[in-house]
Structure 1
Amino acid sequence: MNVLLDTRLPRTLDAWVQSMLADGRPGLRIDAWLFEGLAARRAAEQRLAEAGIAARFRSAYKPLVHHFQEEVDLAGLASVTVHCPVHPMASARRFALEAYPLAEMLTGIELQLVPQPPSEATPRHEIELRWHDGRQRTDAVFAPNRVHQDVLGNTLLSPCAWMKITQGEAPVTDGARPSDYEALFRLAMDTLHQHPWPVTEPYFERLDIRVDLPGVAATAESGAPWVDLHEALHEDLYFSLLELFQQRSGRPPGDRRLQPGQIVPDVRVSEGKVGLRIGLREYPAPIADEGAANDIPLDRIAAPLGFARIAEELAAIPGERFEATSRQGRAVVGIYHPGAGPAVIVSGGQHANETSGVVGALRAARHLAAQPDAHFALIALENPDGYALHRELCAHSPQHMHHAARYTALGDDVEYREHAPFHEREARHEALRLSGAALHINLHGYAAHEWTRPLTGYIPRGFALWTMPKGFFLVLRYRKGWADTARRLAKHVCGRLAERPELMAFNAAQLATYNTHAGALPFEVIRGTACSLSEVDRPGPALTLITEFPDETIYGDSFVFAHDTQTAAVLAAVEAIGLISPSP
């Protein structure tokens, strides 16, 4: 490995405590905000209290949510009104989004999120609390943020560490402070921004960014709202580096054709160490699957499949086998099953961290292969290199969404690859050549909990609609002249999905939470399922039905529910295309 940086930083919490102990002035009152978990913050307060120093350490990340966890008695609470700040350097709903998931935390409690008049002041939530026994209280929750520029020159409003010290009634200091969390991110970005990269893409094979960091690490079993600073740092590093390389290459922001190489932020929980190591290396050689295929029935699979089980399932589906080869040398296997019915292409795993679609595609293909007229091409896993990275990262952080595994080993989205060598995309070309399909059913997923970029404005740039779950929904893209067929297809699929009461309740609950925090969803809702229909001019079949289940990070019964839904959507779409004219 070519190591570009290997360093350790002081832990901010420890440094602040040492500084306060060394200060020695009597009568100090300290209120501080930083990126740490509750246990560490309380331990620091106790250490200072033993020295006669009154201190309160709060979370700089999602302070409103932490306030309700740590400082509000929810028992008997009747109503909550939060007056959310509005800052001119941020989206109007930024702080309503940051309040997520209050709507779920306060189930059965009346909740209103009301915008304040816009102000450039440091944000502060004003909260009105009322209990059933008549108690009332008004709280003010400070939300430390700073206006700053990122390495690309964008001006942003982002959460930051903050310290306020008073002595008696006299203020000593009150302002933003540097922190380890922010410093790690900035150091990584500055190092990679200043590195002398090659002139043309790809710039590397694999870029490793290893971070060791104490702080908040959530677990799905805790029952608490999902707050995970390690996951958030992974996301901010990955997408910030995509933006950096897009700018360097001269591409527009969000260009999914960018091929920088494989960017791998590996952010791990430490006991106290704050470390950063950045290195460049060649792609690791593909290794055999870590375990043999298991014998759990496919419809009861409760976690993403291993490569061995995927291969076993593909081998059991009758038809003509075809292959493409990924950039790292893995096989992208397809099955063409000819029949008398209208042809469809079914695919999963284009974005490899969206794993329920792989199982759904295999399950649907099993059902279709048993039908006498079924005509389909199957690519169950389009992006095996990304899938391998997802498995690597999940070995130590299984409940992170790991968007670094979303794209291919080249760093691009296989959907948008336009020029040879096509690698993985050759499988799509062959599926279309063999089948002549007018419909591509492309199974996707998205984050099952909140997705944030706290160090670059909080809301993921270019993905504002994807910040929180909104149920299972459909995206239908069609070529000119196919609008009527697309709408008929959407109505039929949504009608079939409406026959699934558990799914309808799931969608309704997630849409209600989404509407509370993010506002109205800009999609129409057909029979309980949100749908987006749009005309496009892209290569491939005339119709593309994209499914979106919030599957990133889910396991157990939730994962089974996800691939049940994916399977049902495929079968409904195939049924629909057989009932309506497959041509405009």
Structure 2
Amino acid sequence: MTHIFSTNITQTTHKLVEQFGKPEYQGQLIEAWVFADQTHRLQAEAALLDCGVKAKLRSAYKPLLHFFLEDIDVLSSQITRIEVHYPTHEAASEKRFLLESYPLSTLVGKANIHFIANPKSSECYEVILRSATGVQTQHKVFAPNHLHLDLIGQTHLSPTGWLKVTDSEGKLAFNERLVTDYESLFLEGMRAISQYAWTGSEPYFEELNIQVCLPWKAQKLEHKQEVISLSEALHEDFYFSLQEWFKTKAGYLPNEREGKPGQIVPEIGYTTEKNLTIKVETRPYQIQYSTGQQTLEVAETPISMEQVEVELAKITGDTFTANTITGRKVSARYHKGTDFPVMISGGQHANETTGVVGTLRAAQILNHQKDSHFTISPLENPDGYALHQRLIRDNPHHMHHAARYTALGDDLEYRVKGELYEKEIRHKAREISQAQLHINLHGYPSHEWTRPLSGYVPRGFDMWTIPKGFFLILRHSADKKWATYAEEFAHLVTLKLIKIPGVLAFNNEQVELYRKHAGETNFRIINSFPCLISQGKQEDIPMQLITEYPDETIYGEHFITGHDVQTATVLAAYEVHQLLSANQ
């Protein structure tokens, strides 16, 4: 274990009270935009008012959404129409500020809301509210951002703090960026890690642990899984920013998935202490093994690693395995039959957990089906899964992308050189079965995914920032035969999936909301299912179906629905593959 960096940072709200709670500021208006929950902002306003100073502290994170949550009571008013003219900036995508308003359209009751791009503004939302009686009011909502370079030289337009001081005569005396505690902690942590003397070649460490304590609580929104969480957002920004920095150091491009720095683990917790704290250190791999049993068909939470092994053992056939860098095993079964063979897998990205249950449930059904022929590898990334089980103990409702990749820090699907470790399970499955279809169960965030300190929209994952229903990705070989197969396959599988109770309404609702807040889609809708069909990598199996259920952070009945859908998809895809293969 090696200590790299640690520090305490005073809350910006406390600094503002100390700076402006003085007689010379009485009669002036202090306006600040900070990263903090409403409780801490109101406490600072009250403390300044006790000193005779009027202040208004707003959120620098999602300012339009906070304006409606804190300053406008749409539901109990007579507002019937809302126009949001959102700013645009040449350094960001046209939809950036539209996306930042998510999920506002779900929180305004029966009022009609319209979003309109405003090319004349780069820093303010202009809001027009109309009531049933014809009264119209207009509001400007400032969205402070700054243009900056990150540590790999990439330009971002990112939310930031801001400070305005209006004197007793109504003149603006100060109007500049305010570097907040939240931003400082992130920057100091990133700089310390980037300036550390990393030696040798990849991997540079086993676990790089970033332990942060923040004093702000998450705010649950009245729409499905949506929540405002500065802690979760910081986890995401630290994780992917460090992934990008280490990739660049090793000679990769930021969006490539081959880098193997080691396991990067931001652990962002809540504290009742006044200061923000950060401690960065390297640690050895943790080799924990989760235990416990649920009834698989109605499992309400991600199942334990022990249960994965127990359920896999119920499937008859030959066992084959692969090893991970930490010494854990990837376990699989080959169930031989006379059908056309299929590979079934889950857990490649280990924070996507309904697929693990879905593979096991489907395989257990196929196990009792005459002539069935398949391999099943329910948990391809056990190191990531163990980390996910560890992280959700403290933050069960965070998406935890630190658990997405392997303990080496790479995406196992893109591992093509050196020791293959987990990837070996796929090579063995294909060699044993000679399958031409791989059903690969995945998931994605069930609520908004942001990186507020690095441009807001997660780089390379633009289309996954907000939910858009149960999504199917098909990748086929270059052969025209398989391109045709993919189209027929998608049509027939989705026809079967339509029959799942509730899935049609679920998809339609989420796709409509996605269009409102992310603009036009870049995917196809096939029988009410969002789909992407494309040519895969040359070395891939001829046909791969990747499912994407919005499962990160869901529990209870939502989790059950998720693995119900995953199970049904495996069975539908298996059946359609038999039909199409027999007719080829």
* Map of 2:525 onto structure 1: 525
Q: CA deviation at 1:374?
A: 0.8
Provide runs of 4+ in structure 1 moved above 6 Å: 220-224
Counterpart residue identity of residue 313, structure 1: E
Q: CA deviation at 1:419?
A: 2.0
* Map of 2:303 onto structure 1: 305
Q: Is the 8 A contact 2:22 2:51 kept in 1?
A: no
Matched, 1:178 2:179: yes
Question: Which consecutive unaligned segments of at least 5 residues does structure 2 have?
Answer: none
Q: CA deviation at 1:317?
A: 1.2
CA distance in 2, matches of 1:556, 1:131: 40
Correspondences of 1:45-444 after superposition (within 5 Å): 45-75=45-75, 76-119=78-121, 121=122, 123-168=123-168, 169-219=170-220, 225-271=226-272, 272-284=274-286, 286-289=287-290, 291-294=291-294, 297-444=295-442
CA distance in 1, matches of 2:224, 2:319: 45
SS of 1:581's partner is: helix
Q: CA deviation at 1:275?
A: 0.6
* Map of 1:494 onto structure 2: 494
Q: CA deviation at 1:103?
A: 1.9
CA distance in 1, matches of 2:277, 2:537: 47
Matched, 1:9 2:9: yes
Q: CA deviation at 1:313?
A: 0.6
CA distance in 2, matches of 1:538, 1:236: 33
Counterpart residue identity of residue 423, structure 2: R
Instruction: Output one character per residue of 1:32-78: Cα deviation in whole Å (capped at 9) or x when no partner.
Output: 11000011111211121122111111100001001111111112331
* Map of 1:561 onto structure 2: 561
Counterpart residue identity of residue 124, structure 1: C
SS of 1:128's partner is: strand
Greater CA drift, 332-341 or 536-545: 536-545
Q: CA deviation at 1:134?
A: 3.4
Identity of aligned residues (%): 44
CA distance in 2, matches of 1:535, 1:365: 27
Task: Provide TM-score, normalisation by structure 1.
Answer: 0.96
CA distance in 2, matches of 1:551, 1:429: 28
Correspondences of 1:14-25 after superposition (within 5 Å): 14-22=14-22, 24-25=24-25
Q: Is the 8 A contact 1:147 1:157 kept in 2?
A: yes
CA distance in 1, matches of 2:265, 2:537: 33
* Map of 1:454 onto structure 2: 452
Q: Is the 8 A contact 1:446 1:549 kept in 2?
A: yes
Instruction: Output one character per residue of 1:244-286: Cα deviation in whole Å (capped at 9) or x when no partner.
Output: 01111111221111101000011111123311111112212x2
CA distance in 1, matches of 2:72, 2:405: 42
Distance 1:359 1:453, change over 3 A: same
CA distance in 2, matches of 1:541, 1:582: 18
Instruction: Output one character per residue of 1:437-458: Cα deviation in whole Å (capped at 9) or x when no partner.
Output: 0000000000101011100111
CA distance in 2, matches of 1:576, 1:107: 42
Counterpart residue identity of residue 16, structure 1: L
Distance 1:211 1:222, change over 3 A: farther
Q: CA deviation at 1:226?
A: 1.6
Task: Provide TM-score, normalisation by structure 2.
Answer: 0.96
SS of 2:227's partner is: coil
Counterpart residue identity of residue 377, structure 2: I
SS of 1:534's partner is: strand
Distance 1:351 1:223, change over 3 A: closer
Aligned length: 578
SS of 2:563's partner is: helix
CA distance in 2, matches of 1:500, 1:517: 27
CA distance in 2, matches of 1:221, 1:534: 37
Note the aligned Cα RMSD (angstroms): 1.6
